Amino acid sequence: MRLVVIGNGMVGQRFVESLAARDTARRFTEVTVLGEETRRAYDRVRLSAFFDGVSAEELTLAPPGVPAGTTIRLGEPATAVDREARVVRTAAGEYPYDALVLATGSRAFVPPVPGTGSPGVFVYRTLDDLEALRAHAAGRSAGIVVGGGLLGLEAANALRLLGLRTAIVEFAPHLMPMQVDAAGGAILRRRIEELGIDVHTGAGVTGIAPDGDRLAVGAGELTLGADLVVFAAGVRPRDELARAAGLPVAERGGILVDASCRTADERVFAIGECAAVDGRCYGLVAPGYAMADVVADRLLGGDATFGGADMSTKLKLLGVDVASFGATTGPLDVVYADPAHGLYAKLVLTDDARTLLGGILVGDAAAYGVLKAAVGGPVPGKLADFLSAGAPDVALPGDAQVCSCNAVTKDQVLGAIGAGCADVGCLKACTRAGTTCGSCVPLLRSLLTEAGVAQSTALCEHFAYSRQELFDLIRVRGIATFSALIGEYGTGRGCDVCKPVVASILASLGGGHVLDGEQAALQDTNDHFLANIQRDGTYSVVPRIPGGEITPERLIVIGEVARDFGLYTKITGGQRIDLFGARVEQLPAIWRRLVDAGFESGHAYGKALRTVKSCVGSTWCRYGVQDSVGLAVALELRYRGLRSPHKLKSAVSGCARECAEARSKDFGVIATETGWNLYVGGNGGFRPRHADLFATDLSTEELVRTIDRFLMFYIRTADRLQRTAAWLEALDGGLEHLRAVIVDDSLGICAELDAAMDRHVGGYADEWRAVLEDPDKLRRFVSFVNEPQTPDPSIAFTVEREQRVPVPLGMPEVSA
């Protein structure tokens, strides 16, 4: 028998694989797949990873080769279906069929408003779309995304990764209207706006018009300016072939099919986003996969049916966890909201509060896997445990669905573990769980742990080592470059996880300037320019002011630099002065003025020591019992430039009144009558934690030696992006183990830790000065590579409280 499949997207590929696995008797001897794109099927769910450096090849879903008897024709779209002759036509020929499967997917929806065909207007649908978008964005600074749903927020993140100042325009009253309610949308909006993205809700796009070399976008009553516009406002089913062939379609589009996914023609089936099962189209991949399996079964004589689909979703959008599962409204809603920390949770229950119907999570979706699997049954634990941050440790029933994309239950996962699967990769291969959206991967790890299987600590798919193991490999083997490390101990080309980690390790071990040679390509965005990029594409400059102590002469220099370069000035919470609004080509000139006056980089851009805050101590304060300023200056100068898994902050208080807030720092010091008390493992931020008292009444020499060892042990053993607070909480044996290692030398490594700190102190060099002395490094500090002297014309300012601040999108520039 001859089978033709129109479409080689995610669902079309799933169908071909599912049929090949079932058709052991080779009932279908000739299978032809017609693909409109020139690429084999790729993971459209992870499309935005393309802007994180993931290649098109890495996104492919097609295994090497094709099933026997299958021919895949790429770049050959079907042009017509002749149902009477049972032939599919393309520009290149005709393909007869005994059975036809339509997997034509969907197209991006672009509202019918003037100007959508203008240069600089894109959709966010295919890899070709993304490549065109990336090419156009080069050298530009501002973009607008039309659509505030899942795809719109993905597109907004893509524009941020391209270095563009970004705004979102959403027609609905709140973001993600199909997944979260108004309260959840409000908290999501707040979290996204904190990232520097402008959000305009309740505003439809009324038109796009050229405005010089930019675009003017009408959004409700506003007119917004941008260099490019991306439409990510939803999709529409690709049903045009079916319409032309006379097949019935749903009122709002989509090829009408029954529960077997069969159309009005018994030889023609439709699956995925183009299919309307009983009149309803499903816009997620999980229902498409279920339809693909149904049709593969039916074509071989089975009786499978499509019984609806789980529309649950869990994504990390712009760094914010967002999840919805089951019903999002119902008889009884139990809500937890913490706007200050960007957390929102709602559980939907039956009116007797005994059965979980669904819910919404924003800000922390750790409990998603457990809750989604429990829908339809009782809440697996206390409600309060699920309405605050984190996921409680509860057991799921065996029939609970772990992976909704591929309909995999807990029992199936445990069966695979019992058959020998010992890691997530094996579970993916055996059960397909975690192979689509990936949201169930944390639950897979939990089930491995529950089954008593030790978990891999691999950093990422390119290294089968933890960060600690890589640190030791680099240190012991004397490896100096990423390419040498991955060539000897890794696979592939690396990713956005392992590259910054290795860059940090190399810097911690004194591997030269962060912009030297290969090192430069590994750095995070801010480290690329040794400054913090801001929401308008400019940078902030933070000179180091050890202990917050500064002479009048140097204070005057900062003021003069800010005045001469038109910079916004702000005294930070860490007793420094932040200078905002510097264009990238201005950075070397600003640094030159500051370095000549005796300043150096404050490392506000790096995972390194930021500040050692202090009170005025015994020098001025009548309560002070020790010289807190002198110690703070000495500590900051000792640890400046120390690269670490996460940023480091410290403080020294001159008495127990604690004016420097030392107990909220990674390491904090409080003076006593006879010496210093040392506190470790504190932090402010999203989840504040008070530091633990580690040692009391230390002499200055003992204090410094203990801090040296604490920092070096942390740098050597912490996980990727793990702050000292989380590291200490996860440390086996906790504070007592740490004390045994760095005070009692239980591991015999204190001499190594002392030597490592001595090398750091002796090898310190200011990164700003090193750039100023190197013409090759200076060449990177330009807005446009082809016009090095040309400033970015899209950067504009207005005036607030007598200082220049960025112009919000859509606001006219005011002369400063």
pLDDT above 90 for 6:
yes
pLDDT value, residue 390: 52
Task: For residues 724-742, give the mean pLDDT.
Answer: 88
Distance CA 259, CA 395 (A): 34
Confidence band of 816 (pLDDT split at 50, 70, 90): very low
pLDDT value, residue 798: 83
Residue 611: which H helix or E strand, with range?
A: strand 609-614
Confidence band of 265 (pLDDT split at 50, 70, 90): very high
577 three-state secondary structure: strand
pLDDT value, residue 247: 96
Task: Decide if 28 is inside a domain.
Answer: yes
Confidence band of 144 (pLDDT split at 50, 70, 90): very high
Task: Decide if 328 is inside a domain.
Answer: no
The reply, when asked if residue 421 is annotated as ligand binding, is: no
Task: For residues 484-512, give the mean pLDDT.
Answer: 85
Task: For residues 544-558, give the mean pLDDT.
Answer: 95
C-alpha closest to that of 501 among 467, 463, 458: 467
Q: Calculate the CA dihedral of residues 718, 723, 724, 730 and round it to 10 degrees.
A: -60
If asked whether residues 241 and 278 sit together in one domain, one would say yes
pLDDT value, residue 783: 64
The parent domain of residue 293 ranges over: 2-106+237-299
pLDDT value, residue 317: 67
Task: Decide if 198 is inside a domain.
Answer: yes
pLDDT value, residue 635: 97
Per the listing, tokens 């949770």 go with: 345
The answer for 550, left when phi > 0, alpha when psi is -120 to 50, beta otherwise, is beta
Task: For residues 540-547, give the mean pLDDT.
Answer: 94
Decide: residue 763, CB within 10 A, 0-12 exposed, 13-18 middle, 19+ buried.
exposed
pLDDT value, residue 813: 45
Residue 708: which H helix or E strand, with range?
A: helix 700-717
Residue of 553 and 353 predicted with greater confidence: 553
Q: What is the DSSP string of 135-152?
A: HHHTT--EEEEE--SHHH
Q: Please tell me the least confidently modeled range out of 25-29, 298-302, 391-395, 531-535.
A: 391-395
Structure confidence by residue, pLDDT tens digits, 168-196? 999 999 998 888 888 888 988 988 888 88
Q: Calculate the CA dihedral of residues 71, 75, 79, 83 and round it to 10 degrees.
A: 10
pLDDT value, residue 699: 96
Contacts of 646 (CB under 8 A, 6+ apart): 607, 718, 721, 722, 723, 724
Distance CA 613, CA 623 (A): 18
- Is the Cβ–Cβ distance between 496 and 52 less than 8 Å? yes
96 three-state secondary structure: strand
pLDDT value, residue 438: 65
C-alpha closest to that of 148 among 234, 37, 51, 22: 234
Domain boundary (424, 456, 488) is at 456
Contacts of 328 (CB under 8 A, 6+ apart): 179, 180, 181, 346, 348, 358, 359, 360
Edge-to-edge strand order for the sheet containing 165-170?
121-123, 228-231, 142-146, 165-170, 198-201
- Is the Cβ–Cβ distance between 504 and 498 less than 8 Å? no
The reply, when asked if residue 495 is annotated as ligand binding, is: no
pLDDT above 80 for 679:
yes
Task: Decide if 18 is inside a domain.
Answer: yes
Confidence band of 388 (pLDDT split at 50, 70, 90): low
- Is the Cβ–Cβ distance between 97 and 34 less than 8 Å? no
If asked whether residues 67 and 128 sit together in one domain, one would say no
Say which CATH number the domain at 80 has.
Answer: 3.50.50.60
pLDDT value, residue 434: 77
Contacts of 743 (CB under 8 A, 6+ apart): 695, 706
Q: What is the 3-state secondary structure (H, E, C) of 27-92?
A: CCCEEEEEECCCCCCECHHHHHHHHHCCCHHHHECCCCCCCCCEEEEECCCEEEEECCCCEEEECC
Tokens of 189: 């909006």
Count of domains observed in the chain: 4
If asked whether residues 183 and 248 sit together in one domain, one would say no
Confidence band of 814 (pLDDT split at 50, 70, 90): very low
The reply, when asked if residue 274 is annotated as ligand binding, is: no
Cβ atoms < 10 Å from Cβ of 156: 30
If asked whether residues 227 and 242 sit together in one domain, one would say no
Structure confidence by residue, pLDDT tens digits, 579-620? 999 988 899 999 999 999 999 999 998 899 999 999 999 999
- Is the Cβ–Cβ distance between 188 and 362 less than 8 Å? yes
Task: Decide if 371 is inside a domain.
Answer: no
pLDDT value, residue 373: 77
Residue of 738 and 806 predicted with greater confidence: 738
pLDDT > 70 in the chain, percent = 93
Q: What are the backbone angles phi and psi of residue 475, rounded to the nearest 5°?
A: -65, -50
Rounded to a whole number of angstroms, the distance between the first and last alpha carbons of the chain is: 75
The reply, when asked if residue 655 is annotated as ligand binding, is: yes
pLDDT value, residue 354: 86
Say which CATH number the domain at 426 has.
Answer: 1.10.10.1100
- Is the Cβ–Cβ distance between 216 and 225 less than 8 Å? yes
Please state, rounded to an integer, the average pLDDT across all residues of the chain: 87
Q: What are the backbone angles phi and psi of residue 574, rounded to the nearest 5°?
A: -100, 20
Structure confidence by residue, pLDDT tens digits, 209-259? 999 889 999 998 889 999 999 999 889 999 999 999 999 999 889 999 999
If asked whether residues 405 and 509 sit together in one domain, one would say no
Domain boundary (282, 299, 316) is at 299
C-alpha closest to that of 751 among 794, 799, 807, 713: 713
Distance CA 460, CA 502 (A): 12
pLDDT above 90 for 432:
no
pLDDT above 90 for 365:
no
If asked whether residues 436 and 407 sit together in one domain, one would say yes
Task: Decide if 677 is inside a domain.
Answer: no
Edge-to-edge strand order for the sheet containing 356-362?
313-317, 320-326, 356-362, 343-349, 332-338
If asked whether residues 70 and 130 sit together in one domain, one would say no
If asked whether residues 125 and 227 sit together in one domain, one would say yes
Distance CA 292, CA 285 (A): 10
Q: Could you tell me whether strands 320-326 and 313-317 are parallel, antiparallel, or unpaired per DSSP bridges?
A: antiparallel
Task: For residues 709-725, give the mean pLDDT.
Answer: 92
Structure confidence by residue, pLDDT tens digits, 274-324? 999 988 998 888 899 999 999 999 999 999 999 877 677 777 666 677 888
Q: Please tell me the least confidently modeled range out of 144-158, 163-177, 456-470.
A: 456-470
pLDDT > 90 in the chain, percent = 50
If asked whether residues 9 and 100 sit together in one domain, one would say yes
Cβ atoms < 10 Å from Cβ of 508: 23
Residue of 672 and 285 predicted with greater confidence: 672
Residue of 450 and 276 predicted with greater confidence: 276
pLDDT above 50 for 159:
yes
pLDDT value, residue 791: 66
If asked whether residues 447 and 498 sit together in one domain, one would say no
Tell me the helix, strand and coil percentages in the chain, rounded to 5.
Answer: 35, 25, 45
If asked whether residues 407 and 444 sit together in one domain, one would say yes
pLDDT above 70 for 389:
no
Alpha carbon separation from 582 to 540, 591, 771, 804 (Å, rounded): 6, 11, 17, 11
Angle, nearest 10°, between helix axes 700-717 and 628-639? 30
If asked whether residues 95 and 131 sit together in one domain, one would say no
Distance CA 716, CA 427 (A): 31
Confidence band of 387 (pLDDT split at 50, 70, 90): low
Task: Decide if 174 is inside a domain.
Answer: yes
Distance CA 708, CA 519 (A): 26
Task: Decide if 170 is inside a domain.
Answer: yes
Tokens of 140: 């530009």
Alpha carbon separation from 720 to 133, 524, 535 (Å, rounded): 31, 14, 26
Task: For residues 796-814, give the mean pLDDT.
Answer: 70
Distance CA 763, CA 641 (A): 10
Structure confidence by residue, pLDDT tens digits, 739-753? 999 999 999 999 999
Task: For residues 566-576, give the mean pLDDT.
Answer: 93
Structure confidence by residue, pLDDT tens digits, 32-53? 999 999 999 998 888 877 877 7
Domain boundary (433, 456, 479) is at 456
Cβ atoms < 10 Å from Cβ of 114: 12
Structure confidence by residue, pLDDT tens digits, 86-128? 999 999 999 999 999 999 999 999 999 999 999 999 999 999 9
Confidence band of 519 (pLDDT split at 50, 70, 90): confident
Tokens of 153: 């927020």
Count of all residues that appear for the chain in the document: 816
Q: Is the pTM above the cut of 0.75? A: no
